[in-house]
Chains A and B, each alone.
Chain A
Amino acid sequence: MKRVKWLLMGVLASMLVLTACGGANDTQGDPDKTTITYWQYTYPSKVEEIEKIIKDFEDENPDIEVIAQDYPYDQYQQKIFAAKKAGKGPDVFNIYFGWVPEYVNREYIQPIREEFMTEQEIRDYYVDFVEPNKVDGKYYTLPIAVRSLALFWNKDMFEEAGLDPEQPPKTWDDVIEYGKKMTKLNDDGRYEQEGYGWNVAGQGLHMFQQVMLRQFGVEPYSEDGTKVQFNSKPEGYDAFEYWVNMNQKHKIGDPDFGNSYNEAFISGKAGMIVDGSFRIGDVQSGADFEWGVTTLPVLEEGGLESNYASYWTNAIASGVEGEKLEASEKFLEYLIQADVQKSWMENVGELPAAKEVVAEKSIKEDPVYGAFVRGLEHAHATFFVKEDKEREIITNKVNEIRLNGKAIDEAFDEMVKELQQVRDEYFDEVSK
Chain B
Amino acid sequence: MNNNRKTLDQMMTLRTRRMLIAYAFLFIPVLFYLGVRIVPAIQALSMSFTHEGSSVFTLDHYKMLLQDEVFWISVKNTILYVVIVVPLQMLLGLLIALGIERVNRFKWFYRIVFFLPYMTSIVAISWVWRLIYEPNTGLLNKVLDWLNLPVQGWLTHPDTALISVSIVIIWQMMGFCMLIFTAGLQVIPRQLYEAAEIDGAGRWKRFWMVTFPLLNPTIVFLAIIGVIQTLQTFTQIANLTGGATGGGLGGPLHSTSSVVVYMYNQGFRDYNLHFAAASTVFLFILILIVTLIQFRVLNKSYKL
Q: A residues touching B (Cβ–Cβ < 8 Å)? A: 1, 4, 7-8, 11, 14, 77-78, 81, 85, 186, 188, 190-192, 200-202, 254-260, 263, 386, 388-389, 391-392, 395-396, 399-400, 403-404
* Docked pose: A256 CA to B13 CA in angstroms: 71
Q: A188 contacts which of B130, B150, B252 (Cβ < 8 Å)?
A: B150
Contacts of B271 in A (CB 8 A): 77, 81
* Docked pose: A389 CA to B145 CA in angstroms: 38
Given known contacts A190-B135, A191-B136, is B244 in contact with A260 (CB within 8 Å)? yes
Indicate whether B200 reaches chain A with its CB closer than 8 angstroms: no
- Quick check: which of B16-24, B83-91, B286-294 contacts chain A, the rest being far away? B16-24
Given known contacts A190-B135, A256-B135, A259-B134, is B151 in contact with A4 (CB within 8 Å)? no
**Contacting pair B270 A389 (CB below 8 A):** yes
A395-B251, A399-B252 provided; 15 other pairs, C-beta below 8 A?
A: A4-B24, A14-B28, A78-B268, A81-B268, A81-B271, A85-B273, A258-B134, A258-B137, A259-B244, A260-B243, A388-B270, A396-B251, A396-B254, A403-B156, A403-B253
Contacts of A263 in B (CB 8 A): 244
Which of B136, B153, B271: most chain A CB closer than 10 A? B136
* Docked pose: A376 CA to B254 CA in angstroms: 36
* Docked pose: A14 CA to B42 CA in angstroms: 27
Indicate whether B107 reaches chain A with its CB closer than 8 angstroms: no
**Contacting pair B247 A392 (CB below 8 A):** yes
Tell me the minimal C-beta distance from B139 to chain A in angstroms.
13
Contacts of B151 in A (CB 8 A): 188, 190
* Docked pose: A385 CA to B283 CA in angstroms: 30
Q: Contact residue range for chain B?
A: 35 or more
**Contacting pair A256 B270 (CB below 8 A):** no
Which of A77, A190, A263: most chain B CB closer than 10 A? A190
* Docked pose: A388 CA to B269 CA in angstroms: 7
**Contacting pair B21 A403 (CB below 8 A):** no
**Contacting pair A201 B27 (CB below 8 A):** no
**Contacting pair B141 A190 (CB below 8 A):** yes
User: Which B263-292 residues have a C-beta within 8 angstroms of A?
Assistant: 268-271, 273
Top 5 nearest A-B pairs (CB, nearest first) are A260-B244, A201-B247, A256-B156, A395-B247, A191-B136
Q: A404 contacts which of B20, B28, B253 (Cβ < 8 Å)?
A: B253
